[in-house]
Amino acid sequence: MRRSAWTVVLLSVIVLAVVAGVAILAAQRLNRPHNIILFVADGLRSESVNPEDAPAIAALRAEGVDLRNSHSIYPTLTMVNASALATGHRIGDTGNFGNTLYAGQPALPFPVLSPVVSVEDDEALGLLNQRFKSDYLNEMSLLALAHAQGWATAAVGKLGPTALQDLGALDGKGGIIIDDATGYTSSGFKGAPLAPELKAAIQAAGLDWPARDRGLNGSPGAYNMPGVWVPNSYQQDWMIEVTTKVVLPRLAKSGKPFALVYWSRDPDATQHYQGDSLNSLTPGINGKTSKAAIRNASNNLQALRDWLKANHLEDTTDIVVVSDHGFSTISRQSQTSQARLTEYRDVMPGFLPPNFLAMDLARALDLPLHELNGLEVDVANRFYPRGGGALLGADAKAPQVVVAQNGGSDLIYVPSRDPALTRRIVEFLEGQDYTGGLFVDDRLGEMPGTLPLSAIDLTGAALTPRPTIVVGFRSFLIPGCERGPELCAAEVADTPLQQGQGMHGTFSRADTHNFMAAVGPDFKRGFKDAAPTSNADVAPTLAHIMGLTLPSKGNLKGRVIEEALRDGAPVGHRVGVRRSSPGVNGFTTVLNWQSAGANRYFDAAGMPGRIVGLNP
C-alpha cells in the first residue's frame, strides 16, 4: 500500500475513534443526571406572585409547571416545612413539630437552660442531634444523600432551614453550608465549618467575611415604634453574590452533577417586621415594604437563572421554586382572654400580650407560671413570660404543662400525659374566642371538639416528644380588603410582634397555601397541575429525577409529582371533610382534606366561622 493510502487509513481510524469518543461523551452526558436547584422563598404566598411584584417567579411559573394546588405542612412554620422539604417526610416522622419545640428533660443548655428550644439556629440543631441518635429528624435528607452519592452539594441562605438540609455538615461531614452564622465561631453564634479555600475564595471575590447580618431589616420595632421599611437585601445581596461568584462556579467545575438549595429569607423576614401598618390591620402585609421583599426574593431567583444562562447550564438544570408556608396579618385582639385585661409596660392596652395562652392557662388551672429558664413570672407586677413559651407548675424542673409559642399555633405538652388534665385544658380552650382548631395526641383517647393528631399526620416515627395538644389560632378576613381571601387574612398569633405585622402557623388556607412551581429539562412546559401537592413531595420528586433512592424509617412519605414530569401520567385526586364530635359550647374541629394516590393534603381546619378558607 502506498504511503498516502496508509495515511488515509490512519486518518480514518483517528476520525472513527474521535467520533466514537464524542458519541460516548454524548451518551454519558445524556445519562448524567441533570443539576438541581431548590429555591425556597420563605413565606411567599402563592397569590402574591404576579409579574409586577415578582417578575422572575411569575415568569418561571408560566414557563414550566404551575403547582397551584400546593400545600404547606401544618403547623405552617419554617422549620416544620424545612424538615419536610429536606427529607420528603411529614411531621409525624421528622418530629419537627414547630419552630419552637419541647425537647424533653433534662433542659438543653442553649440559648438559655431550657427544655424548650428554638430550632432556627445551627447550635440548637447540633444539640438536638446530640440528644436524638445523631439525627433528630430520624430521616435522611436529600442533600445528605446526594453528597454521600458523590454529587456536589451546597445549601445557602437563612439560618436554621439551610443547615437542616444537611445536618451532618454541622460536624464537617457534609456539603457546603452558608448561612447567617458563616464565619462565626464563638459559642452562642457559631456556623457550620467551611473549608478554608472557600473562605479565601469569598474574600478573593471582594465579598464581606464573616456573613452579613440583616442590617436595617433586623429590628422588629415595638408597640409604639414601627418596624422596618426596607427588605432584607443587604444580607441577601451577600448571599446571592457568594452563591453566583463562589459556590456555583465550584459546583459546576467539580465534574459532578450538582444540587443547590437556596433559602431566601425574604419575603418572610420583611413581612414579619414591616413597619407599614403599626397596630392596624390595613395595609398589614400588603404594603409597599412587603412588596419590596417579594421583589427581593424574585431578584435572587433571577440572578441564579442569569448565572445558569451565562454558563450554558439552563438546559441541564432543573429548578423547583417553593415557599415553606403562606402568611397573614397579625391580630392581637380577643374578647375572652383574661391576659388582655392587664396593662403591661410594652403592650398596647387591651391587646393580647406575648404568651397570652400560657398566661390564660396558668390562671385557669391555678398553676404557677415560669419562664423557660425556670424563673417565676411576676404576673401580679404586670409581667408576662419573655421567652418562646412558658412552664406551668410548682416545680419548673418538672412542669405539669409546657407551652411552646409558635405564632399562629401553640404546642402544649403535658409530660405526664394525664387525660384529666388534658381534658381540662381542652375544655378551657374551647371556651376561648382565639381558638381556631384543636388536635390531641391519640394516646389520650377521644376528646370532644378535637381531632386526633393522627388525622393531620402528626403521629409517626418521630424521635422528639409529641405534643399533647396542638392549638391553631383563629383567622378572619380583614374588613375592606379586596385582594381575595388568601391575601386578606388576619390571624390571632402568639408572638412578640405587633398587630398589623405578619405571622403564619395557623390552619387557614392563607397559611397553608404556599407557592410551588418548577422548570427545567425534566418538567413539562406550560403545564398547570390541578392535583394537590405539598412540601413533602418535593424531595421524593427531586430524588426520582436525580436517580437516587431516599431510605425511609417512617411511613409518612410524600409522593413523586409524576404528572408534572415530562411524559408523566395524570394522577387521580379527590376532596373530603372530617368533623369532630362537638365539645364545650358546640366547639367543633373540621378538617378539609384532599388526596392524590395514598397521600393526603390538608387545606384548612378548625371551628367553622373561625378559619379563612374552611368549607364546613
Q: Which residues bind Zn ion (CB under 5 A)?
A: 268
CB-nearer residue toward Zn ion: 268 or 360: 268
Rounded to the nearest 5°, which phi and psi values hold at 225? -145, 120
Grid coordinates representing 496 are 412578640
Integer-rounded Cα Rg, in Å, for the chain is 25
In the complex, minimum distance from the CB of residue 78 to Zn ion, in angstroms, rounded to a whole number: 5
Distance in Å, CB of 521 to Zn ion, minimum: 33
Which of 247, 190, 139, 158 has its CA nearest to residue 543? 139
Nearer to Zn ion, 120 or 122 (CB): 120
Q: Which is nearer to Zn ion, 75 or 393 (CB)?
A: 75
Kindly state the smallest distance separating residue 268's Cβ from Zn ion, in Å: 4
**Is the Cβ of residue 41 or residue 414 nearer to Zn ion in the bound state?**
41
Tell me the sheet residues that pair with 189: 186
CB of 505 to Zn ion, least distance (A): 8
Strand, helix or coil at 464? Answer: coil
Q: How far is the CB of 328 from Zn ion (least distance, A)?
A: 11
Q: Which helix (H) or strand (E) holds 63?
A: helix 55-63
CA distance 374 to 392: 10
| Residue closer to Zn ion, measured from CB, 287 or 393 | 287
Residue 137: strand pairing partners? none
Closer by beta carbon to Zn ion, 93 or else 268: 268
Q: Angle of helix 288-310 relative to helix 55-63, nearest 10 degrees?
A: 60
Cα separations in angstroms, 168 against 60, 117, 256, 304, 513? 32, 20, 20, 26, 31
Residue with Cβ nearer Zn ion (80 or 440): 80
**At what angle are helices 78-87 and 538-546 packed, to 10 degrees?**
30
Residue whose beta carbon is closest to Zn ion:
268
Q: Are 335 and 344 in contact (CB under 8 A)?
A: no
Name, in order, each residue with C-beta under 8 angstroms of 561's C-beta and a sequence gap of 6 or more.
67, 529, 531, 533, 537, 541, 568
Q: Compute the least distance from the CB of residue 327 to Zn ion, in Å.
A: 8
Closer to Zn ion by Cβ: residue 230 or 546? 230
Q: Closest separation between CB of residue 503 and Zn ion, Å?
A: 7
Q: How far is the CB of 82 from Zn ion (least distance, A)?
A: 11
Give the separation between CA 267 and CA 277, rounded to whole angstroms: 16
CB of 294 to Zn ion, least distance (A): 14
Please say which residue, 180 or 268, places its beta carbon nearer to Zn ion: 268
Backbone angles phi, psi at 197, to 5 degrees: -70, -25
Instruction: Give which of 396, 419, 401 is closest to 411, Cα–Cα.
Output: 401
In angstroms, give the least distance from the CB of 73 to Zn ion: 14
Q: Which of 483, 491, 524, 522 is closest to 508 using CA atoms?
A: 491
Least CB distance from residue 43 to Zn ion, whole Å?
5
Least separation in angstroms between residue 522's CB and Zn ion is 30
Could you tell me the three cell numbers for 611? 378559619
Of 114 and 271, the one with the shorter C-beta distance to Zn ion is 271
Amino acid at the residue 214: R
Cβ of residue 101: shortest distance to Zn ion, in angstroms?
15
What 3-state class would DSSP assign to 209? coil
Residue 322, beta-bridge partner list: 40, 516
| Sign of the alpha-carbon torsion through 365, 367, 372, 378 | positive
How many CB atoms sit inside 10 A of residue 219's CB?
A: 13
| Cβ distance to Zn ion smaller for residue 324 or 563 | 324
Output 327 or 384, the one with its CB closest to Zn ion: 327
Within 10 angstroms of residue 378's Cβ, the number of other Cβ atoms is 10
* Complex with Zn ion: residue 139 or 268, whichever CB lies closer: 268
Verify cis geometry, omega within 30 degrees of 0, for the bond prior to 616. no
Nearer to Zn ion, 36 or 294 (CB): 294
Strands (E) located in 284-376? 317-322, 328-331, 369-370
Collapsed DSSP state (helix, strand, coil) of residue 575: strand
Q: How many other C-beta atoms lie within 10 A of the C-beta of residue 275?
A: 20
> Do the strands 258-264 and 475-477 form a parallel or antiparallel pair, or are they unpaired?
unpaired
Q: Within 13 Å of residue 590, how many CA atoms lie on the same side as its CB?
A: 17
Distance CA 373, CA 381 (A): 19
Residue 494: CB minimum distance to Zn ion, A: 13
